[in-house]
Structure 1
Amino acid sequence: MRRVPYGPVRDGWQLTNFSLGLTYNDTELPDGTMTSYWREGPYYDFTAAEIEELETATATLYAMCIEAGDWMVRQCPRLTVEGRKQGFFASICNDETCFLARIGIPEYTHEQIIRTWFDGDAETWTHYDKDPDMRLPMQTPDYSPSVYGRFDLWYNGAGSTPRLLEFNAQTPTSLVEAAVIQWHWMDQTGVTQHEWRQWNSIHERLVGWEATPGEPGDPGAWRRNINKLREARTWLPEKPKIFFAYETSETSGEDRMNVAYLMATAEEAGYPVELIAMSQIGWDVAGDRVVFVPAPGQEHKAEPIDVIFMLYPWEWFWHEEGGKAFFRNMADPEKRGTVWIEPPYKAALLGNKALLPVLWNLFGDDPERGKYLLPAYFAESSKAAKLTSFAKKPVWGREGGSVTLVRDGVPITTNPSEYGADGRYIVQELCELPSFDGLEGTLHPVIGSWLIDGEPAGMGIREGIGTEGLVTGNTCNFVPHTIESGA
């Protein structure tokens, strides 16, 4: 792994990137100046062996996350038969009895978090662990699709071991630049002729590919997930319409374009799609279901939503007015409730920082799997108090907000934000991002390792500058990569 500081610069690269979907390239820095989010010229180059190491780490980490999710749901009383009998509005979970309650997840969501976690695995959902005390009542088989996710990894090339910093499981962005922009950059510059050229099969894994002589085809994540959903929900048409929702208050255009890209891949996979605002998701009281509410002036009427992808954090959604109705609507597939992509468990079990101490507790002593982790603890624990160099992170946080790095007892960088107001934090042993020299100063890259349908699919790299760049925030740049460019 090396940083090539002086790569080719394409004529008109800004317009090219814009035409491919990178409409949010201009980034405003804290001092009010504007800079380019995409770095044209520099790139990171990897050996094939390094890519294989990153791919292995990604697959191993995801398998560990699945085991960690199983552990978390075991800690919720609503997993038991008796717990489920208590009903939707009863209260049986608290910080002492339930892990989900401890990390701040409203109790009314717990049953659906557990149900969507086990969807697609009827045997597990019906006879959990073969334990009579944990056995659940028979459920109508259902399926909750999950399409993508992204690990943020520390890595410094050959001789080092990738380490998990966090898992962006529900709403990862930088998808457009990772899947499309850097691929076209590599293709247009011809900087590498290696057989692989770039670790990047994100697009193909979403839309699938045809079989060739000697090579099997792949239906892709969209077809695979929707086909499984239709097996569970037989009333759905062969090509159900998929709505794609984004939050319009995000004004840079990043959320819109990431959602639009995913929508384009679903359309390429053969499904009817529609892009909508989060504010257009409504509730039909008479029909007891989620509907699309057209904007004023639109011709068609409110339309039931069977399937929707939402780029909006569940941890915001379940604290908002109307959240209980949406969760109740999921409860019984026979009522044809709305299917949400990504499902609630992606935020509740995998997409928050509480995952990190759970992983360390389960796998920290495992020499083969624990090597990909950093020691992590809940901030109030005695083990956390013994750390003198650590990253303190809010359980519910984004873009590096409210993350503090402490080296030998002295804070070296802070990033104040609204996150962490609930007082829930974890600490993770400090592992400062690698350093590379550049014209701008010392540069610190973080590897964004993508999963498509649970499989390693590619990489994007973001780098920060100087001490503040040790925490990857929204002012950090995106830099492309190659495999064995020879430069």
Structure 2
Amino acid sequence: MRRIPHGPVRDGWRLTNYSLGLTYNDDVLPDGTTYSYWQEGPYYDFTAAEIEELETASTTLYAMCLEAGDWIVQQCPRRTAEGRRQGYFTSICTAESCFLTRIGVPEYTHEQIIRTWFDGDAETWTHQDKDPDGRLPMGTPDWSPSVYGRFDLWYNGAGSVPRLLEFNAQTPTSLIEAAVIQWHWMDQTGVAGHEWRQWNSIHERLVGWEDAPGEPGDPGAWRRNIGKLREARPWLPEKPKIFFAYETSETSGEDRMNVAYLMATAEEAGYPVELIAMSQIGWDVAGDRVLFVPRPGQEHKAESIDVIFMLYPWEWFWHEEGGKAFFRNMADPEKRGTVWMEPPYKAALLGNKALLPVLWKLFGDDPERGRYLLPAYFAESSGAAKLTSYAKKPVWGREGGSVTLVRDGVPVTDVPSEYGSDGRYIVQELCELPSFDGLEGTVHPVIGAWLIDGEPAGMGIREGIGTAGLVTTNTCNFIPHVIS
């Protein structure tokens, strides 16, 4: 793993990147200065063995996360048939009895979090639920599609072991940069030589590929997931329309373009698609249906939503007005409710920092798997009190917000934000990002290891500058890579 500070600079690279979807490259910092998110010139060079190490770590970590999700579910009283019969209006989950309640997940969501987690696993969710009253069993076989996710890893090249910093399981961005922009950069600069070599099969794993003309290869994440969904819901058309929703209050265009790219891959895989705003998602009170409403006052033109991908945090969604109705619709025993991607379990079980102490509890003593982890504890625990160098992170946080780094009891840097206002924090043993020499000063890279349908698929690298760059925020740069 080497940082090459003086790579080729393409003529008109800004316009090229813009035409490929990087419409949010230039931004203005709070002090009024402008900066370029994409760094043209520097790049990272890896050996094949280093990439294999990162792939192995990603595969192992994902398997561990699945076991951790099972452990979290086992702590919820609503995991049983009896617990589900209690209904919405009977509270049976407490912070002492339920891990989800402890970290602030509303109890009314637990049943669907658990149901979507077990979708496709008939033995754990379906057969135990035979209702003595003769009603349709809750949890008849279904499928909750999950397409992507991203591990943020500490790594310093050969001789070091990748370490998990966090799992962006539900709403990771920087997808266009990793899947498309850096691939074209490699093609156009030729820095990888005659053999185009980059850890990057993101696009192919989304849309699929043929081993040879006319020969089946990999169907891709979209076809595989929608195919399983149609097996569970045969009333869906062969090519169900997939809506893609983003939050328009994010004004840089990053959310819109990341969603648009995912939408383009679904369309390439053969599905009808439509890009919509979160504000265009409505509710049919009479029919208990989720709707796409083109404009206020055009409810007569509303369209039912069967399948939707939303780039919007579930931890915001389930606290908003109407959240209960959407979850009730999701629970439709006839399976006519809307299917959401990514499913709610991606936020509740995997996509928050509380996952880190669970992983450490389960695997910290495992010499093989535990080496990919850093000791992590809830901030109020005795384990946390023993750490003198640590990263303090809000359970629900994004883009480095409210993260504080402490070295030998002394704060090094922090990122003030509104995250963590509920007082829920974890601490993770400090593992400062590696340091490389850059033209702007010392830079600190973090590896974004992408998963497509649960399999390692590629890498994107973000780096910050100086002490502030030890926490990766939304102002950190994207740097491409090649494999020697």
Tell me the equivalent position of 2:330: 330
Tell me the equivalent position of 1:131: none
Tell me the equivalent position of 1:352: 352
Distance in 2 (CA, whole Å) between partners of 1:439 and 1:7 is: 12
Distance in 2 (CA, whole Å) between partners of 1:195 and 1:363 is: 39
- Equivalent pair of 1:28/1:475 in contact (CA under 8 Å): no
- Equivalent pair of 1:294/1:300 in contact (CA under 8 Å): no
Tell me the equivalent position of 2:319: 319
1:413 is aligned to 2:413: yes
Tell me the equivalent position of 1:84: 84
- Equivalent pair of 2:162/2:372 in contact (CA under 8 Å): yes
How much has 1:210 moved relative to structure 2? 1.2
Tell me the equivalent position of 1:362: 362
How much has 1:80 moved relative to structure 2? 1.4
1:393 is aligned to 2:383: no
Moved more, 25-34 or 420-429: 25-34
| Unaligned residue ranges in structure 2 (runs of 5+) | 129-135
Please list, as runs of the form range in 1=range in 2, the aligned pairs for 1:1-400 lying within 5 A after superposition.
Answer: 1-126=1-126, 139-193=139-193, 195=195, 197-212=197-212, 217-295=217-295, 301-400=301-400
- Equivalent pair of 2:126/2:140 in contact (CA under 8 Å): no
- Equivalent pair of 1:329/1:338 in contact (CA under 8 Å): yes
Distance in 1 (CA, whole Å) between partners of 2:115 and 2:5 is: 49
Change (3 A) 1:442 1:305: same
Change (3 A) 1:279 1:213: closer
Moved more, 119-128 or 99-108: 119-128
Distance in 1 (CA, whole Å) between partners of 2:181 and 2:42 is: 14
Distance in 1 (CA, whole Å) between partners of 2:274 and 2:154 is: 37
C-alpha deviations, 1:187-221, integer Å up to 9, x for none? 00010127461000000000000122898500000
Distance in 2 (CA, whole Å) between partners of 1:213 and 1:143 is: 31
Distance in 2 (CA, whole Å) between partners of 1:126 and 1:144 is: 14
Change (3 A) 1:235 1:452: same
C-alpha deviations, 1:77-134, integer Å up to 9, x for none? 0011221110122210010110000000000000000000001111221357xxxxxx
Distance in 2 (CA, whole Å) between partners of 1:214 and 1:223 is: 17
- Equivalent pair of 2:186/2:196 in contact (CA under 8 Å): no
Tell me the equivalent position of 1:132: none
1:449 is aligned to 2:449: yes
Distance in 2 (CA, whole Å) between partners of 1:40 and 1:332 is: 50
Q: Number of matched residues? A: 478
Change (3 A) 1:299 1:285: closer
Distance in 1 (CA, whole Å) between partners of 2:194 and 2:369 is: 30
How much has 1:333 moved relative to structure 2? 4.7
How much has 1:31 moved relative to structure 2? 1.2
Distance in 1 (CA, whole Å) between partners of 2:377 and 2:212 is: 48
Change (3 A) 1:290 1:184: same
Change (3 A) 1:12 1:300: farther
How much has 1:377 moved relative to structure 2? 0.2
- 1:4 counterpart letter in structure 2: I
1:478 is aligned to 2:478: yes
The runs of at least 4 aligned residues of structure 1 exceeding 6 Å deviation read 297-300
SS state at 1:146 partner: coil
How much has 1:222 moved relative to structure 2? 0.3
Tell me the equivalent position of 2:132: none
How much has 1:137 moved relative to structure 2? 5.6
Distance in 2 (CA, whole Å) between partners of 1:332 and 1:196 is: 48
- Equivalent pair of 2:331/2:337 in contact (CA under 8 Å): yes
| Unaligned residue ranges in structure 1 (runs of 5+) | 129-135
Tell me the equivalent position of 2:131: none
Distance in 1 (CA, whole Å) between partners of 2:196 and 2:157 is: 18
- TM score, norm. by length of structure 1: 0.96
- Equivalent pair of 2:169/2:347 in contact (CA under 8 Å): yes
Change (3 A) 1:24 1:3: same
Tell me the equivalent position of 1:463: 463
- Equivalent pair of 1:81/1:137 in contact (CA under 8 Å): no
- 1:211 counterpart letter in structure 2: D
Distance in 1 (CA, whole Å) between partners of 2:472 and 2:27 is: 14
Distance in 2 (CA, whole Å) between partners of 1:139 and 1:469 is: 46
Distance in 1 (CA, whole Å) between partners of 2:210 and 2:199 is: 20
- Equivalent pair of 2:137/2:333 in contact (CA under 8 Å): no
Distance in 1 (CA, whole Å) between partners of 2:160 and 2:215 is: 33
SS state at 1:458 partner: strand
1:427 is aligned to 2:453: no
- Equivalent pair of 2:239/2:271 in contact (CA under 8 Å): yes
C-alpha deviations, 1:218-255, integer Å up to 9, x for none? 00000000000000001000000000000000000000
Distance in 1 (CA, whole Å) between partners of 2:328 and 2:112 is: 8
- Equivalent pair of 2:149/2:170 in contact (CA under 8 Å): yes
How much has 1:476 moved relative to structure 2? 0.2
- 1:176 counterpart letter in structure 2: I
Distance in 2 (CA, whole Å) between partners of 1:46 and 1:196 is: 13
Distance in 2 (CA, whole Å) between partners of 1:333 and 1:468 is: 50
SS state at 1:334 partner: coil
- Equivalent pair of 2:441/2:465 in contact (CA under 8 Å): yes
Distance in 1 (CA, whole Å) between partners of 2:473 and 2:397 is: 11
